[in-house]
Amino acid sequence: MDVDKAVANMVANLQKNTGKTLEEWILILKAHGAEKHGEMVKYLKTEHGLGHGFANMIVLKTKGTDAGSTSNKDELVDKQYVGKEALRSIYEQLKTAIAAFGADVEFSPKNAYVSIIRKKQFAIIQPSTKTRLDLGLNIKNQDAVNGLELAGSFNAMCTHRIKLEKEEDVDQTVITWLKKAYEGAG
């Protein structure tokens, strides 16, 4: 999947579905004055009736924190791990395991996390604290078991979360959950 093509399709559909261009939505959002990502998304959803995907894209484009707004995607990942360097090896371990699932996996860094996409997003990797990395997954109709918890308010784009604190936490169970999310995104 080509992320740039997917974003271009979203931008085209945004105008088709809302009657406004991305540039017009950015002006509306800037005039509102909200600065936090969540507040901005909520404003677009509640006051303008946008779905989460469109609202989130507009906010990312407004703030310039999406992968398409930087020429060096590694910079976004590097910034995520400033002060959280001990977690970087867990990220690299997960990235290697996920990349082995297939050539159709794409890593799309954002400001605070890395989105992992097949035909749609199936996981995110986010260094949430100095001592914990959160693995967000999209797995439909799955109970919380074996270290897999419901995402709750963690991230609206994920159904589940696994908390990881050390490399040893990335065990076969975690890889199995990742594979299940990957397969569900095909």
* pLDDT confidence of residue 65: 66
Q: How many CB atoms lie within 10 A of CB 148?
A: 21
pTM of the model: 0.66
Mind listing the pLDDT tens digit for each residue in 26-38?
Answer: 999 989 988 888 8
Shared domain for 91 and 157, answered yes or no, is yes
Shared domain for 47 and 105, answered yes or no, is no
Residue 1 has pLDDT above 50, yes or no: no
Q: How many CB atoms lie within 10 A of CB 55?
A: 22
Q: How far is CA 124 from CA 8, 19, 21, 102, 117, in A?
A: 21, 31, 28, 17, 9
Mind listing the pLDDT tens digit for each residue in 33-79?
Answer: 888 888 999 999 999 999 888 898 898 888 876 655 555 567 889 99
* pLDDT confidence of residue 2: 54
Shared domain for 117 and 176, answered yes or no, is yes
Instruction: Pick the last residue of a domain from 20, 47, 69.
Output: 69
Q: Which of the two residues, 87 and 22, has the higher pLDDT score?
A: 87
Shared domain for 91 and 158, answered yes or no, is yes
